[in-house]
């Protein structure tokens, strides 16, 4: 079946750097995408979402970019902080109400 995947399993950055987490999706019918942050032992926390009629959306310190031509999604975190250390998942919604999660990328932020 179609699935969402990630290029980088682990990303290590220094505090203050900008981080970019990438996600490739294969279902061209997906019309809604979400990024979640999951800290150890906790449930996923909503970060930002984007609909397929947009190619960029900004939040507080985060930006999501969507490139439908190459089926690519990215999460940019500005001025990364140690508290940003977590596993980040992208998820896609094909319109049938369920989410398909990617494999996750662990972000490690060093002080």
Binding site for another protein (CB under 8 A): 31-32, 34, 36, 41-46, 49, 51, 89, 93, 95-104
Extract the runs of DSSP E, i.e. beta strands, from 45-85.
45-51, 56-58, 62-67, 72-77
Q: Which is nearer to another protein, 77 or 90 (CB)?
A: 90
Q: Which CB atom, from 23 or from 77, has the smaller least distance to another protein?
A: 23
Q: How far apart are CA 17 and CA 61, in angstroms?
A: 12
CB of 99 to another protein, least distance (A): 6
Terminal CA-to-CA distance of the chain, rounded, Å?
Answer: 41
CA 54 – CA 66 distance, rounded (Å): 7
Smallest gap from Cβ 14 to another protein, in A, equals 24
Report, in Å, the least distance between residue 86 CB and another protein.
13
């Amino acid at each position: 079946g179609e699935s969402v995947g990630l290029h980088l399993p682990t990303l290590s950055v220094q505090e203050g750097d900008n981080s970019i987490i990438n996600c490739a999706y294969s279902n061209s019918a997906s019309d809604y995408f979400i990024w979640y942050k999951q800290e150890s032992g906790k449930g996923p926390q909503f970060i930002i979402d984007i609909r397929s009629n947009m190619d960029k959306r900004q939040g507080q310190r985060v930006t999501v970019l969507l490139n439908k031509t190459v089926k690519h999604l990215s999460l940019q975190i500005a001025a990364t902080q140690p508290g940003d250390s977590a596993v980040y998942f992208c998820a896609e919604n094909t319109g049938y109400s369920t989410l398909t999660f990617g494999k996750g990328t662990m972000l490690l932020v060093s002080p």
